[in-house]
A = this chain, B = another copy of it.
Amino acid sequence: MSGAFIAVDWGTTNRRAYVVDGGEVVATERDDMGILSVPSGGFPAAVAALRERHGGLPMLLAGMVGSNRGWHDAGYVAAPAGIADLAAGLATPEPGVAIVPGVCRNDEHRQDVMRGEEVQLLGAVAAGLAPADALLCQPGTHAKWAEMRGGSLADFTTAMTGEMFALLKAHALIGPEMTGEVDATEHFRQGVEASADQDLLAALFGVRAAAVLGRRAPGTAGAYVSGLLLGSDCRARIVSGRIVHLLADGLLARLYSTAIAIVGGEAVVVDSHASFVAGITRIWDMTS
């Protein structure tokens, strides 16, 4: 095990830092200084402040900080990719600071990209939290589904599930109907069941029709639409009996676990923070 370092999961809207020493997390901090809140040219100062708070230790960054909208474009390594490929592809914007590259899938038929999730996905397997051959899912604005083979990130698909919910709620004709708490309720389950029709564009309009005809109780359509979207997402990726290792907690873990079960799969919830620390520590150990 190499020396202590600061690991940072630096996303679009949030940032989470871990001081790792001897493979153990000895300090953490979280704030809302995602890349969107860093002023133009402000990354060196933001990085310096973070390092100073934690004894000037070297840093290893992952996530959108390495995108062309972040500090420094760390590029992508092509799937299949393992921890060693990420370690070999580090970008070094300044001495003592490195950024993990993203992973892409880039052939004629289908293109996909991830940045940040690769550390969690590979870390989950490296730490034994998920098997070396497994289907992993990290839900969110852009849900990532990864096929791990032999411990490597073999292939993956991104679905704009969370973004679509937000778009519909904010801007669609059915948006004003999408009230009520979203949780793994009966209405959410109805939405997942309805997604079996593979007809999302019609099912979404049906929310409006049901409201007009007085068929849907107020305050239930938010959960129903969430079920429709998560059901569509899960059905496209899960064959019956498939186990999905879910890098999530709280509400997202409840929603996806429920949807996965309804479409015939089985969810196993994995600690995403422990996965991140496991992944980034292994990258660090390979390079320092």
Asked whether A213 lies within 8 Å of B111 as measured between CB atoms, the reply is yes
> A202's contact among B174, B201, B236, by CB below 8 Å, is which?
B236
A159 to B173, CA, bound (A): 12
* A254 cross-chain contacts in B, Cβ below 8 A: none
Asked whether A160 lies within 8 Å of B213 as measured between CB atoms, the reply is no
Asked whether A205 lies within 8 Å of B168 as measured between CB atoms, the reply is no
Asked whether A167 lies within 8 Å of B159 as measured between CB atoms, the reply is no
A138 to B164, CA, bound (A): 25
Asked whether B111 lies within 8 Å of A159 as measured between CB atoms, the reply is no
> A201's contact among B205, B210, B233, by CB below 8 Å, is which?
B233
Asked whether A201 lies within 8 Å of B161 as measured between CB atoms, the reply is yes
A202 to B111, CA, bound (A): 10
Asked whether any CB of chain B lies closer than 8 Å to the CB of A171, the reply is yes
Asked whether any CB of chain B lies closer than 8 Å to the CB of A126, the reply is no
Asked whether any CB of chain B lies closer than 8 Å to the CB of A172, the reply is yes
Asked whether any CB of chain B lies closer than 8 Å to the CB of A200, the reply is yes
> A200's contact among B168, B173, B208, B232, by CB below 8 Å, is which?
B232
Name the residue among A201, A204, A208, A229 with the largest chain B CB count within 10 angstroms.
A201
* A185 cross-chain contacts in B, Cβ below 8 A: none
Asked whether A205 lies within 8 Å of B236 as measured between CB atoms, the reply is no
A233 to B236, CA, bound (A): 17
> A172's contact among B113, B160, B198, B213, by CB below 8 Å, is which?
B160
A113 to B198, CA, bound (A): 20
* A104 cross-chain contacts in B, Cβ below 8 A: 209, 213
A117 to B210, CA, bound (A): 19
Asked whether any CB of chain B lies closer than 8 Å to the CB of A158, the reply is yes
Q: Given A159-B199, A167-B171, A171-B171, 16 more contacts at CB 8 Å?
A: A106-B213, A106-B215, A110-B206, A111-B210, A111-B215, A112-B206, A113-B209, A142-B205, A158-B205, A160-B173, A160-B201, A160-B202, A160-B204, A167-B172, A198-B236, A200-B201
Q: List 16 A-B contacts (CB under 8 A).
A: A76-B213, A104-B209, A106-B215, A110-B206, A112-B209, A113-B209, A113-B213, A158-B202, A158-B205, A160-B172, A160-B201, A167-B168, A200-B232, A201-B229, A201-B236, A202-B233
